[in-house]
Every structure is written in C-alpha cells, then in structure tokens.
Amino acid sequence: MTSRKVVSFENIKVACKNCSLATLCLPMGLTPDDVERLDGIIKRGRPYHRGDHLYRGGDKFNSLRVITSGSVKTYSPNEDGGEQVLGFHLPGELIGLDAIQDDNHTCSAIALETTAVCEIPFSQLESLSCIMPSLQHQMYRLLSREIGQETEMLTLLGKKSAEERLATFLLSFSERFKQRGFSASDFFLSMSRHEIGNYLGLAVETVSRLFTRFQDENLLHVERKHVQLLNIPRLYDIVQGTDSAKSSQSRI
Amino acid sequence: MTSRKVVSFENIKVACKNCSLATLCLPMGLTPDDVERLDGIIKRGRPYHRGDHLYRGGDKFNSLRVITSGSVKTYSPNEDGGEQVLGFHLPGELIGLDAIQDDNHTCSAIALETTAVCEIPFSQLESLSCIMPSLQHQMYRLLSREIGQETEMLTLLGKKSAEERLATFLLSFSERFKQRGFSASDFFLSMSRHEIGNYLGLAVETVSRLFTRFQDENLLHVERKHVQLLNIPRLYDIVQGTDSAKSSQSRI
DNA sequence: AAAATGACTTGATCCTTATCAAGAAAGTCT
DNA sequence: AGACTTTCTTGATAAGGATCAAGTCATTTT
C-alpha cells in the first residue's frame, strides 16, 4: 500500500517550465529553450520523510539538489561529536554547492519534514553550462550568492546579541516564506529549539527564553512550532541593534 | 622619482607560467596552452600601499583579484557604523567572488601592507570559461571552496571558545605560510590586534590577553606582529577543544 | 488510558568574555 | 629630540548567556 502511494508521488513530476519555483531556482533568467534543456538532466525522485538523509558527510558528490517542497537542515559534524547546523533550506533553494570542491560531501543534509527535491547531476550540469553561457552565468551567481549569505552569518555570529540573532532568524524566515507566496507573519518552523540554538550559536534555553520574552513584549505569538509575528517593524529595529527597539517600545 | 620606481615595478610582470603561485591560483590544473590563454586577459597594475583600497562596498564589480604579494583584509560595514572583518588574504588567494552575484561589490578590500595583485576581468573570464571547460571547472571548485571555508568560520564563531578561536587563527596562518614556502612557525601578522579580534568575534583585550597567556604557557613567542609558534601540536589540541591541551601541559 | 519519552520552559547559579579604565610601548610628526 | 597619536597590554568590574536542575507539556507507545 505504501508502494502504490510512492508511485503516485513519483508521477507528480513537475517540469521546470511549469514549476512555480522556477523564478527562485536554477532556471531563473534562462530562455524557455534553455529551461527545456536543463529540464532534460533533472531527476525527480520520491519524497524523503522526516529524518531521512539526502546525503551525508563523506558521501560521493554527484548531484546538486533543489528543495521543491518541505524543508531541509544541513549540518556538519564537529570535532567533539556535536554538530554545527549550517542552514535551513526551503523550496527553491539549492544545496550541495560546498561539495563541488573535492567531489565529496563535507556536510550532511536531512529532511525536517516530508520533502521533495530535484536532483541535478553535476557533471551533466557542468557540460550543459559549457554550451549555455546563461546557465553558466546563473551558476556563478548562485555560488556567489551563497558566499554572500554566509558572510552575513559571520556578522551575525561574530557581532550580534542573542536577541538580534533570533530576530534576524525569524525575519529571514518571514521574508523567505513571503517570497514563496506564504504569509510573512504566520508560519510553522520545522526545526526544534535545539536546532535553532545550534544554528544561532546559542543554548536551547536562551532560545526558549527569547521566544517567551518576545511574546511578553507583544512582538510575536508563539506556540511550539507555530509563530505569528505581531510587530515586524520592531523586529527589524532589533536586528539593527540600535537599541531603538526598546526605546520605541517605552514610547508607546 | 616615485614615478620611475612605479614604472620599474610595473615592468616586473610575471606571466602565470612563471609565477610561483600558479599551483595555488586560478591556473591550477590547466594545461600550459590554457594557462597562456588565461594569462592573456590578466591585468597587472601597480602595487597598492598599506591602507589603499582595492575596492569598496558599492563599487561596480569588474574584476576578480588574486593577491600576488603582500596581504589584504576584506570587511563589510555593519549597520551600526562598525565593520565586520571577513578575511585576511595571502598571495595566491582570490578575492571578489562575493560580488559576482549582483555586479556590485558588497564588501571592501584594503591592503594591509604593500601589495600586488592580478586583476582578472570577470566578463572575459566568463567568456573564456565557456570555451575552456577546465577553467570553468576550476572556477566552480574555487567558488565551492570559498563556501566550505566560510562554513568552517561559522563553526568557529558559533561554537568555539576564545582560546580555540585564536589557536585556529594562528594555525591557519601557519599552514598558509607553509604552503607558500615560508616558515610555518615564524611569521609576521600584518593586521592589528583589533582586526584579529573583530575577525574572531572577540574584544581586542581578549586577544591581547590570549597572546600573553599562550606565551606564558610556552605555546608561542610573540612580540607585536612577530609570532613564533613553539608548540604547534598543542595548538592543534587546543583547536580540537578536547581540553586535553591543558592536561597534556600539566603532564609535562 | 496510563506510562514513557522527548521537547520545551523556567529558575538559580556560574563562567567566560565584554566593557571600562589606565598605563606602557611603539610609531609619527614637526 | 620631544610631543603626540596609536596600538597594545593589564587590571577591575559587569553582564550576557551557558550550564545545571527541575518541572511542564506534548506526543508516542503499550
């Protein structure tokens, strides 16, 4: 019975040209003809369930992957047995870029919920990008964007307070959900408090306390994974770290 | 008189095929013919002096740059006027990769000492990489490597203690100097304590105290910018954060 | 439905590192 | 050379967040 269900899933193969994520994804900026050619090398497998690994550190690198639904956590093991969460990835986002370097995955990727992905065999993508300059350009842009995003994380971890980190985290999801046509102020987080803390360089307890405090300050309403942002502008103030957030609150 | 000197500098244009850094740099893995073609698009300008900007955030992005001598700091301004140091770059290292994304530099690069660079006009590099698959491959690898390196910084800033951070920092320079044919245990750091602290997410005072402590523990000898590493293995122990460093010290 | 498990929250305490403050050393300028 | 500036060091204190310890709430198991 599961097998029949899986087969039906596999039949739901949305071609790039019909995919709502195309504007966020690799086909962005390509002509319809080029999208068609790119589509030709993409593999769409069965969905992953919560806890399934898309790949693990050390695995041979063959494909880049784009999340098409669900969400994924990437992480790398660190020396002393623990892990460092590297990112949370939503539909339209490309993962595995760090593995091009030496043909092996350096980090792992695990589904946080039922998740579908497109696999893009890298060697074929590379060949294709040799004959499709616009695809090559798009690849360079995506790789560069990834570098820019990690740079922002460096500032977050290097300079920001716990409060600023969580506000940044929440607004990042708000913006990304909005981009994808979902509510910017009402969403579910698919990861645990522990994973949020790990990602932000904070202890679980600190994350929990901050959620409570933000709620007490009417910045948001939170119930487990369900978050409703009630005062997005003030969250942006907090991100700025100008401390005007507190004063603007007291001015009310 | 300066102009004559500059002219003489400009004449010292080492072609890629004669450059000792070629194995670390873009030509890595290219055939001599391909290196020649790459060489054709590279511009070698006059050297920068300490404090000169190679580019600033907001500048139009035209070229990637490879340091050929000296050293460079990259940084991005952050909201509240301060800056976040993103990296220190030694000969053979490629900078500007983050700017491909939107055709503008998002961060700034400044010479920490007299520094020479090769400029690689990106549009020409892109065209060339379309007809030279091995160059394209090398570009993907370099971009991917950059992502991997930033990932390591995330772990450093997210999980490591001040002590582990400084040890990691010192060993990174040790390894990179060694790769370049210099001593792995005796070198000059071209940046200030303040810049080190900024980069590592620590206060200047903490960096200073750690240098003193490491010296007291006979891990190194430091006098201003001149660093001599006296016990590299134990520095590696510290990086691991297993705390075995301290016990191995007391065992002596 | 009760028990067990895991996730989250809350409180109390401790520790690391930031901040504040001042002095020393090095480098710069006239 | 002497004054000035900047960088670095060192000490004292404070604060932010980690850690330790319980307890609560959900969810799953039996």
B28-59 residue pLDDT tens: 989 999 999 999 999 998 899 999 999 999 99
- Please check the confidence at residue B250 and state whether its pLDDT lies above 60: no
What single DSSP character describes residue B99?
G
Give the distance, in angstroms, between residue B110 CA and nucleotide C24 C1': 29
Q: Which two tokens stand for residue A207?
A: 């994350």
Cβ-nearest to B79 among A141, A143, A240: A240
* Positive or negative: CA dihedral A55, A57, A61, A63: positive
Nucleotide nearest B215, from its CA to each C1': D9
| Strands B94-95, B226-229: pairing kind | unpaired
Interface list for A 133-152 with B (CB within 8 A): 133, 136-137, 139-141, 143-148, 150-151
Name the burial class of residue B249, with classes exposed (0-12), middle (13-18) and buried (19+) by CB atoms within 10 angstroms of its CB.
middle
Find where tokens 């790119």 sit: A38
A145-175 residue pLDDT tens: 999 999 999 999 999 999 999 999 999 999 9
Nucleotide nearest B206, from its CA to each C1': C17
The count of CB pairs under 8 A between chains A and B is 137
Q: Please state, in angstroms and rounded to a whole number, the distance separating the CA atoms of residues A56 and A48.
A: 14
B203-237 residue pLDDT tens: 999 999 999 999 999 999 999 999 999 999 999 99
Ramachandran class of A57: left when φ > 0, alpha when ψ lies in -120 to 50, beta otherwise: beta
Residue A188 in contact with residue A227, Cβ under 8 Å? yes
Could you tell me which chain B residue has the CA closest to the CA of A153?
A: B154
Interface list for B 192-211 with A (CB within 8 A): 198-201
A193 touches strand C (CB under 7 A): yes
B126-159 residue pLDDT tens: 999 999 999 999 999 999 999 999 999 999 999 9
Sheet with A83-89: list strands edge to edge: A53-55, A108-111, A72-77, A83-89
A208 touches strand C (CB under 7 A): yes
Q: What is the pTM of this model?
A: 0.90
Interface list for B 61-100 with A (CB within 8 A): 76, 78-80, 82, 84, 86, 97-100
Contact A86 B148 (CB under 8 A): no
Cβ-nearest to B137 among A126, A146, A153: A126
The upper half-sphere exposure of residue A227, i.e. CA atoms within 13 Å in the direction of its Cβ, equals 28
Report the pLDDT averaged over residues A13-25.
86
Could you tell me which chain B residue has the CA closest to the CA of A239?
A: B79
